[in-house]
Every structure is written in C-alpha cells, then in structure tokens.
Structure 1
C-alpha cells in the first residue's frame, strides 16, 4: 500500500515538473500585459489622458511623452523609443502618483498599442481601443 502511495506521489510530482517546464516564463513572454481593460474601464483621468495622447497634448507633466525603457520587461520587447509614458493623475495626490499609460508605436498621436498601470509599472493591462 505504501509503495502505491509513493508511486502516485512521484507521478504527480513528475507531472507538475513537466507542466512547469513547458510553461513560458510570464515576465519574459510579456503575458502580464495580456490582462485587458476597455477604455470605459479606465479611471476618468485615464480616459482624458488617452484623448490628449491622440491630440498631441497638452500634458500636465513635463515627463509625459518621454521614452519608457521597459526595464521591468513586462511589455513585449521593442526597440528603444517605441514606448512612451504618460501620467494619469490621481485625485488627492499632489505628486505624479503611480498611475501611468504607456503607449507603443513610432507615431505618438496614433499609437499601435497602449497599456495602463496603476501600480507604477509592477503590472500592466492592455487597453482595448
């Protein structure tokens, strides 16, 4: 009986190892960015920032529109200069806060894709446009 229990445990452990070995690293694959949000699901301030991005500004903060380096590697890998970041104001906060929209593309007014983060680049949600 003990040998049967041991065999079942070993088979289960081997199965777990095989599944984990075949699963791509989430950060390397950028799968964190696969979580999505509709524009209507963004905070009102985020919706306003998206509108300003499409208009080319004006932006509230000097750093808005600056190159986002993707150092965290949570977004798909692209050439430097592809991503730009924009501050999403947080009501009641006097500084820039943690909320950002990061857009990718080489035409800032017509981005290929945009992502929203509410935790200062720890996670991203793809904005469905």
Structure 2
C-alpha cells in the first residue's frame, strides 16, 4: 500500500527529496545508512541501539496506515557525527520481522514517511 502524504491527516511534505508523488521512495535515493539498516533488519541484526531497535512502533502520530498494535517496528538509521539516535528511522510493517512486507523511511522523526519500493 503506497503512502500518499497529502492524504494523511497531519502529514507534512518534508520527506526526503527522493520521494515520488505517490509517497514512495527508492532505497538508492535515501542516505546510505538506510540501506545498511534494511540489510541489518533482513539479517536479524546486530543493531546499533539494541534496546530501541526492533521495538513496536505505536504510530501515535497516525501518519502511517492504521494497523493493529504490534504491526509496525522501528529501527534507527544512524546519522554520521551524531552521538545520539538522531531523527532518522526505518519503520517496518507486517510479519515476519526479518522479511516484512513494508519498509518506511522517516528522516524527520515521524513527521513524514515514504514507502520504500523494491525492498
């Protein structure tokens, strides 16, 4: 399911510049650390923030399609030069956790998302 930012309540259009009009983006158009994070997810880790990575993402902002609790999980996309987790995340949707059917990217700490195509 493609996420169309303009149709979601409260969604802003500050997604990565590689976002297409339909709300999707290509992994190759995102920061290289996003690709590394996707690879970690598909390999089952290890993750740079093991207490935070892989936890249930509540979608409290309501910017992703509404699903039952536990559907979404979040993972840190490291930002070079930052000593903390920064604002970049990959959110996965669905099961299994290692090969989820949906990958979303946010570079602005859940303000906007794009559905990563081709993963």
Q: Same fold (TM over 0.5)?
A: yes
Please identify the structure whose Cα radius of gyration is greater.
Answer: 1
How big is the alpha-carbon RMSD for the aligned residues of Structure 1 and Structure 2? 2.2
Alignment partner, residue 61 of structure 2? 72
Aligned length: 105
Q: Which runs of 5+ in 2 are unaligned?
A: 1-5, 16-21
Structure 2 length normalisation: TM-score?
0.81
Show structure 1 runs of 4+ deviating over 3 A.
Answer: none
Bigger fraction of residues in helix:
1
Q: Is it true that 1:41 corresponds to 2:39 in the alignment?
A: no
Q: Which residue of 1 aligns with 2:47?
A: 59
Q: TM-score, normalised by structure 1?
A: 0.75
Counterpart mapping for 1:89-108 below 5 A: 89-108=78-97
Q: SS of the counterpart of 2:60?
A: coil
Unaligned runs of 5+ in 1: 1-24
